[in-house]
Structure 1
Amino acid sequence: MGLEQDKAANLDACIKCSACTSQCPVAAVYPFFPGPKSVGPDAERLRLEGFETDVRFLSYCSNCKTCEVTCPSGVKITDMIMRAREKAQETGHGQGKSLRYRVRDLILGRAEYLGKLGTFLPVLTNLVLRISFVRSLMERMLGIGKQAPLPAYRTKLKSPSNRSLKTGGSGRHGTPRKQVVYFPGCFIRYNDSLTGRAVIKVLEHNGYDVIVPDFHCCGVPLQANGHFHEERDNIRKNLGLMHSYLQENIPVVASCTSCGLALKEEYPKSGYPGAERVGHQTYDLFEFLWKLHEDGELAENFREVPLSLGYHAPCHLKAQGIGTPAVRLLRLVPGVRVSDLDAGCCGLSGSFGFKEERYDLAMQIGNYLFSRVRQGVTRGEFEVMTTECGGCQVQIQHGSGVKTEHPIWTIVEAYGLDLKHKH
């Protein structure tokens, strides 16, 4: 089936039920946004016929994928909206962005370069970003909201030093070592490297040598900020870095749900070498650990951890269709209680909530979640929050004031691993 035929077939699956719009986090708080059905399938019919459509609302799509999760027919609504955004740019119809917004989107789309710059002198970077005058200047000059919760930078995550990662060495009695490729993502690599080390420690505890190539950004920030050609270039580079491992059937694990979703859904569509394998060989971190549990291969020498957790499922985890494996795994740990809040989107959606014109909207989207988190702590339902997505962690802590961290830290504690945890 050709590309245009494939588009049409996907489009014809839309039954105009408006379930996507009823569940859209943006449409729920911003009545002027017509919703994903209108800017997606409805407008796509006109776009495929060559008619010009109103592009003003395309940028209101936060790329959370809730519409696709909700759609009973499996229509790829977000794909339609992203294609329309790219075509609008190519044809010069754009979305009326000012020069400072275009520069802002250029910067926010390059999380990898920001990370390299921020981790060069992380203490100084964080100090400067906490100065109110600097934040006000960033808003005035670049349109980056002065109240937005920009994450702190830390020392860059380094690959584990293990000769067998390159040699494919053997374990005891000459048996091949188990190997896994770890795709940490920009947030872990530059903003939360300690959590990346925790992931590596847990995988090693389960008998795996962890391969961490010098990956580039997964491409999601580039796509979200309208830099589609650069996104595809990153996909090509990353597939090149993991090609040999994919050929050897080594699984790829992602601890960031957005990176994991990109590897599973965006990369296979690219047509680059390795694209036909990456979707099948990629796992969310806790999806992978749960698979080990089901196969009887997970180290379950857990010690008791008296802890009550509130859990938030990121939108891009829901879009993977794997449920909440972190919740299932955490409940295996003696003493751990987990409350799955199921309280909607946090609102940040990558860099969406960092933008001055979207900050209030993002906070409104996350308001129900923030209230639910505060209530849970006040009532003694749980002590801290946990979620796999770094952006969600930052936004929940910003909106609720409650400590929020990656669930891997509970597993680290349960295993009694020697890794200092300072957040």
Structure 2
Amino acid sequence: MREGSLEAPTRHPLDWENPEFYDEAKLDAEMRRVFDICHGCRRCFNLCDSFPRLFDLVDESKSGELDTVASADFKPVVDACTLCDMCFLTKCPYVPPHEFNLDFPHLILRYRAVEAKKHGVGAVDHALTETDRNGKWATLISGAVNWATRRGSPLRGLEEKVAGIDRNAALPEYASQSLEAKTKANPPQRDASAPAKARKVVLYATCYGDYNDTSIGEAALAVLAKNGVETKVLHPHCCGMPKLEQGLIGEVADAARKVAAAFAPYIDEGYDIVAPVPSCALMLKFEWPLILPNDASVKRLAAATFDLSEYIVDIARKEGLAGGMSPIEGGVAFHMSCHSRAQNFGQKGTVLLNLIPQADVAVVERCSGHGGAWGYKKGNFETAMKVGKPAMRQLNTAGKKHVVSECPLAGIHLEQGIEALAGDAPKPERVGHPIVLMARAYGVSSPSK
């Protein structure tokens, strides 16, 4: 039997509509098969907290092997997984097409799906997955919401008690107007002085880009317009990543069908779909086709979708970017997010930044530890800070003026860790996405919320 595989990882569709997927005995057998292989390998020991928890369980068991670990003790291992996919894509030698057929993140997802089907998801946890509903309401009263959720707010203790959100975790602010509303009032216009390109883009605003930090989408639209690309903005529905983390695969499938239907007419007209948040791009391009492998509309959307950094680099390589960028002073410490890496297209964010004159980029390729809503929760926040500390330390000591991650939630988490490490020393400025620095270099956009 061979040790590891030299072939590129492949993923099998999720068999979530098969009743056997939810068979607890079969799930437990598969958990034990996979965990026993992980215990014998241990290459993932330094990725996240799931693997140390698993290895400690085994090492502290009566036999020192998995056979004396109770299945009930698997839950802390499952709870620590953030579905970052790094074990699958960067560490595990036994992923398909290897005969061992290991897909640790999708095994964890199956466990959560079984739990959700059997026990349901708590009302608060489910409410937190309703990012569109929450965002629509929060933008209407953004001042009050941002005051109530800021660190140090007198309400954070109550939020911790009721919603389980750690009072010390920095939370994203909400915009006073969504990106979609802004662009309806002031539609993006292609720069008349730029040569028109045979490209048309619909920017999938995403929940975060629509309701939280609109500067990312505004910068993207400005850079695309500067480069002669016709653009539109659309946010039909959340990509479902928060629901996927809870094991609500059926609700993710519903979101996929809804979004695919909304984008279908634009794809018919030759538009490319561009997502500014890596997690959302990952869902459209990879996770949805594994959840709905026979849905032609979902497959078509996946083929038409690009990550924002990927798309800008594609323009640069094929047609060339418009000139006129000014240098960015002070250098950039760039965090390569896990869901950027999970798209398996290389360091497109690094390439984008290096297109800016004198960007002086230092790349940090370590997990932020955040893991979406997981990192906000009481009981997870300290673990998230621990896992992210190596990345925070590298970004803080890089000696750059700017720090940026393509994942905006990771950026907020990293900024909080850098503040703790730096103390009273000067700290780099956090920027929401590399595209914001490119827009600044062009002089076509300024951050706004």
Structure 2-normalised TM-score?
0.77
Say whether the 8 Å CA contact 2:237–2:259 is kept in structure 1: yes
The one-letter amino acid paired with 1:195 is I
The yes-or-no answer on 1:192 pairing with 2:213 is yes
Cα distance between partner residues in 2 of 1:319 and 1:421: 28
Say whether the 8 Å CA contact 1:310–1:339 is kept in structure 2: yes
Cα distance between partner residues in 2 of 1:364 and 1:193: 30
Aligned position for 1:371: 393
- More moved, 397-406 vs 351-360: 397-406
Aligned position for 1:420: 446
Q: Pick the aligned partner of 2:128 from 101, 108, 117.
A: 108
Aligned position for 1:263: 284
- Per-residue CA deviation, residues 248-301 of structure 1 (Å, 9 max, x unaligned), is 442211110100111111122324341122222211111111111111342243
- Per-residue CA deviation, residues 65-89 of structure 1 (Å, 9 max, x unaligned), is 1111122343432122212221233
SS at match of 1:25: coil
Say whether the 8 Å CA contact 1:19–1:71 is kept in structure 2: no
Number of residue-to-residue matches in the alignment = 388
| 1:241 positional shift | 0.6
The one-letter amino acid paired with 1:126 is N
The yes-or-no answer on 1:183 pairing with 2:204 is yes
Cα distance between partner residues in 1 of 2:266 and 2:415: 37
SS at match of 1:62: coil
Aligned position for 1:65: 85
The one-letter amino acid paired with 1:82 is L
Say whether the 8 Å CA contact 1:139–1:146 is kept in structure 2: yes
Say whether the 8 Å CA contact 2:334–2:363 is kept in structure 1: yes
| 1:27 positional shift | 3.6
The yes-or-no answer on 1:233 pairing with 2:261 is no
The within-5 A match list for 1:160-309 is 160-161=183-184, 178-269=199-290, 270=292, 271-309=294-332
| 1:135 positional shift | 0.6
- More moved, 360-369 vs 57-66: 57-66
Aligned position for 1:142: 163
The yes-or-no answer on 1:340 pairing with 2:363 is yes
The one-letter amino acid paired with 1:124 is A
CA RMSD of aligned residues (A): 3.4
Cα distance between partner residues in 2 of 1:105 and 1:87: 16
Runs of 5+ consecutive residues of structure 2 not aligned to the other structure: 1-11, 59-64, 97-102, 420-426
SS at match of 1:132: coil
| 1:332 positional shift | 2.3
- Matched residues, percent identical? 26
The one-letter amino acid paired with 2:375 is G
Q: Pick the aligned partner of 1:388 from 397, 403, 406.
A: 406
Aligned position for 2:8: none
Say whether the 8 Å CA contact 1:13–1:73 is kept in structure 2: no
SS at match of 2:231: strand
SS at match of 1:181: strand
| 1:109 positional shift | 1.3
| 1:19 positional shift | 5.2
Say whether the 8 Å CA contact 1:292–1:298 is kept in structure 2: yes
Cα distance between partner residues in 2 of 1:59 and 1:31: 11
Say whether the 8 Å CA contact 1:253–1:288 is kept in structure 2: yes
The yes-or-no answer on 1:410 pairing with 2:437 is yes
Cα distance between partner residues in 1 of 2:363 and 2:235: 34
Cα 1:267–1:28 shift into 2, 3 Å: closer
Aligned position for 1:331: 354
Structure 1-normalised TM-score?
0.82
The one-letter amino acid paired with 1:334 is P
Cα distance between partner residues in 2 of 1:410 and 1:361: 31
- More moved, 307-316 vs 244-253: 244-253
- Per-residue CA deviation, residues 143-176 of structure 1 (Å, 9 max, x unaligned), is 11111111111121126359999xxx9x99xx99
- Per-residue CA deviation, residues 337-390 of structure 1 (Å, 9 max, x unaligned), is 100022x211111101111011111111111122222222xxxx3112011111
| 1:33 positional shift | 6.8
Aligned position for 2:100: none
Aligned position for 1:117: 137
Cα 1:164–1:354 shift into 2, 3 Å: closer
Cα 1:129–1:33 shift into 2, 3 Å: farther
Cα 1:222–1:20 shift into 2, 3 Å: farther
Cα 1:3–1:349 shift into 2, 3 Å: closer
| 1:189 positional shift | 0.9
Say whether the 8 Å CA contact 1:115–1:190 is kept in structure 2: yes
SS at match of 1:356: coil
Say whether the 8 Å CA contact 2:147–2:153 is kept in structure 1: no
Aligned position for 1:46: none
| 1:318 positional shift | 0.7
| 1:29 positional shift | 6.2
| 1:327 positional shift | 1.1
Aligned position for 1:128: 148
Cα distance between partner residues in 1 of 2:297 and 2:267: 7
Runs of 5+ consecutive residues of structure 1 not aligned to the other structure: 36-41, 44-51
The one-letter amino acid paired with 2:413 is Q
Cα distance between partner residues in 1 of 2:361 and 2:105: 31
Cα distance between partner residues in 1 of 2:246 and 2:14: 24
Cα distance between partner residues in 1 of 2:229 and 2:330: 28
Cα distance between partner residues in 2 of 1:357 and 1:205: 46
